[in-house]
Amino acid sequence: MVDSETLTPLHESNQEIEVSVVIPCLNEAQSVGICVKKARNTLKRLGICGEVVVADNGSTDASAAIAECEGARIVHQPVRGYGSAYLAGIGAAQGKYIIMGDADDTYDFSNLEPFITPLRDGFDFVIGSRFQGNIHPGAMSWSHRYVGNPILSGILNLFFGAGISDSHCGMRSFTRDAFERMKLQTLGMEFASEMVMRAIKGRLKVLEIPIDYYPRKGESKLNSFRDAWRHLRFMLLYSPTYLFLIPGTLLFLLGLLCTFLLLPGPVKIGGHAYDVHVMTVTSLLTLLGYQILHVGIYAKTYALRCGFEERDRFISGLYQIFNLERGLVVGGILFLFGFAMDARIAYQWVQSGFGPLDQIRPAILASVFMVLGVQTFFSAFFLSLLGIETQNSSSLSSHRKIDP
C-alpha cells in the first residue's frame, strides 16, 4: 500500500513539465517501485515540476502495476529491446529535460540534481561515469569492470573522439531538443552506444559526471558476449572509415608498392629471395584493398542517405570531382592499359614461335590493372546511383534546419 503523499501529483494539469524521468522495465517487480518512489520523492524535494514514465517492455510479472501504484505513468511497448523501450518512453515523455535510468535500482534516483543543473546551464547531454564515481561491492563483475567496458569505451573514444570514461553507463540526461537532433533508431542494447556516438557527431555539449553504482535487485537481463558484440558491431558499422577506408587504403597501397618492387625481378631481404609467388600474393592484396576501399565509400554514402550522418567532407569532396563519365573513363584507361600489356606479351610469344616465355611478372601486373579497371568501371555506375540518392536527400534536407 502506498501513502497518499507519495501519490500527490508532481505538477498541475496546466503546468509545463520540466523534467521527465524515463525508466525502461522488463520483469523488475522487485525494484521498479523503489526506483519510481525515489525519483518522485526527489523531484518533489527539489520543487521540480516533473513526471516519472515507466516504459514497460512486456513484463509478465506485476512490474507495471507496482510502478503505476507508486505514481508512474505507464507506457506499454510490446516490441522487445532496450532501445525500443526507451524510444517509446522518451517519445511519450512531456518534459523539457529527460533523465533515463534502469529499473533495477543500480542507479540512485535520489540524486537527480547533478543531471538537471548542467542542462539548465546550457549542456545538451549529461552522462554518468561509474568509474569516476563509486562502484559498490558486487555491483559490477570484474570482466565488465576491467575488460568489457574499458575496451568498448576505448574503441568508441578512438573512433569518435568522445573522451568519455564510461560510455555504457545507463544513467543519463539530455534536453528534448538534443534528443530530437540525435535521431536515435536502434532498438537493442546498442542504443546506449548510438546515443553517445550521435551526441558526439552532432556536436552536442556533453558533460560526464561521477555517480554511484549499486548491486542490482533481481535477475540480470544482460548477455555479456552478445551485448558486447552488438555494441562493437554497431560502432564498426557506424564508422566505415575505420572498418573499410583505412584498412582498404593500407592494403591497396602496400600491395601495389610490393607488386611494383617485385616487377623487375626477385628481391632479397635477410638472405631470403622473394619472387613471383610473393608477387601473386601482393597483387591479390592490391585488389582486395581496392575492393574494401570501394565498399567504404559505398558505406559512407549510404550512411548519409539514411541519415546516420549529416555531412562528411570526404564524401562531399568525392562527389564534387566524381561523376559517372569520369569513372567510366578511368576504369576504361586502367583496363586498356592492362590489356595492352597482355597484348604485348602475346605478341612477344608469337614472335618467339610460341616457345617458352618469361613474362610472368608483367602478366601479373597486367591482370591487376585489368581487374582494377573493371572494378572502377562498374563501381562508377553504383556510386552514381548512390550519388543521385544523396543529392536528392540533400536537396530535401536543405528545406529543414540541421544544427551543426
Q: Where are the alpha helices (DSSP H) in 239-323?
A: 240, 246-262, 276-306, 313-321
pLDDT digits over 14-57, tens only?
679 999 999 999 999 999 999 999 999 999 999 999 999 999 99
pLDDT digits over 97-118, tens only?
999 999 999 999 999 999 999 9
Beta bridge partners of 134: 212
Q: Is residue 129, in this structure, part of any structural domain at all?
A: yes
Q: Is residue 328, in this structure, part of any structural domain at all?
A: yes
pLDDT over 50 (residue 134)? yes
Whether 367 and 245 map to the same domain: the answer is yes
Q: Which helix (H) or strand (E) holds 43?
A: helix 32-45
Q: Is residue 288, in this structure, part of any structural domain at all?
A: yes
DSSP string, 67-121: HHHTTPEEEE--S-SHHHHHHHHHHH---SEEEE--TTS-S-TT--HHHHHHHHT
pLDDT over 70 (residue 388)? no
Q: Is residue 11, in this structure, part of any structural domain at all?
A: no
Separation between Cα atoms, residue 184 and residue 12, nearest integer Å: 31
Distance from the Cα of residue 377 to its chain's centroid: 31
Last residue within a domain, chosen from 237, 260, 277: 237
Whether 36 and 115 map to the same domain: the answer is yes
Structure confidence at residue 10 as a pLDDT band (50, 70, 90): low
Structure confidence at residue 402 as a pLDDT band (50, 70, 90): very low
Whether 245 and 337 map to the same domain: the answer is yes
pLDDT over 70 (residue 120)? yes
Q: Which of 147, 209, 201 is nearest to 173 (CA)?
A: 209
Q: Is residue 7, in this structure, part of any structural domain at all?
A: no
Whether 354 and 271 map to the same domain: the answer is yes
> 236 with 308: CB under 8 angstroms?
no
Whether 231 and 244 map to the same domain: the answer is no
pLDDT digits over 193-242, tens only?
999 999 998 899 999 999 999 998 867 666 677 777 877 888 887 788 88
Whether 228 and 293 map to the same domain: the answer is no
Separation between Cα atoms, residue 11 and residue 59, nearest integer Å: 28
What does the pLDDT read at residue 71? Answer: 95
pLDDT digits over 236-273, tens only?
877 888 889 999 999 999 999 999 999 988 888 887 88
* Residue 139 belongs to domain with CATH number: 3.90.550.10
Whether 44 and 172 map to the same domain: the answer is yes
pTM of the model: 0.74
> 246 with 252: CB under 8 angstroms?
no
β-pairing, 50-56 vs 19-25, is parallel
DSSP string, 140-183: S-HHIIIIIHHHHHHHHHHHH----S-TT-S-EEEEHHHHHHH-
Whether 298 and 339 map to the same domain: the answer is yes
What is the number of structural domains in the chain?
Answer: 2
Whether 316 and 362 map to the same domain: the answer is yes
pLDDT over 50 (residue 401)? no
Last residue within a domain, chosen from 202, 237, 272: 237
Separation between Cα atoms, residue 391 and residue 374, nearest integer Å: 26
Whether 26 and 142 map to the same domain: the answer is yes
**Which sign, positive or negative, has the C-alpha torsion 67, 72, 74, 75?**
negative
Cell of 213: 553504482
pLDDT over 80 (residue 178)? yes
Separation between Cα atoms, residue 54 and residue 85, nearest integer Å: 9
DSSP state of 57: -
Q: Look-up: residue for cell 530535401?
A: 396
Q: Is residue 4, in this structure, part of any structural domain at all?
A: no
Q: Is residue 5, in this structure, part of any structural domain at all?
A: no
What does the pLDDT read at residue 14? Answer: 66
Last residue within a domain, chosen from 218, 237, 256: 237
Q: Is residue 12, in this structure, part of any structural domain at all?
A: no
Task: Tell me what the mean pLDDT of segment 359-372 comes to.
Answer: 94
What does the pLDDT read at residue 307? Answer: 65
pLDDT over 50 (residue 395)? no
Whether 260 and 359 map to the same domain: the answer is yes
To the nearest whole number, what is the mean pLDDT of the chain?
87
Whether 249 and 376 map to the same domain: the answer is yes
Q: Look-up: residue for cell 586502367?
A: 334
Residue 348, domain extent: 240-396
Q: Cα-flanking dihedrals φ and ψ of residue 311, to 5°?
A: -160, 155
Separation between Cα atoms, residue 251 and residue 259, nearest integer Å: 12
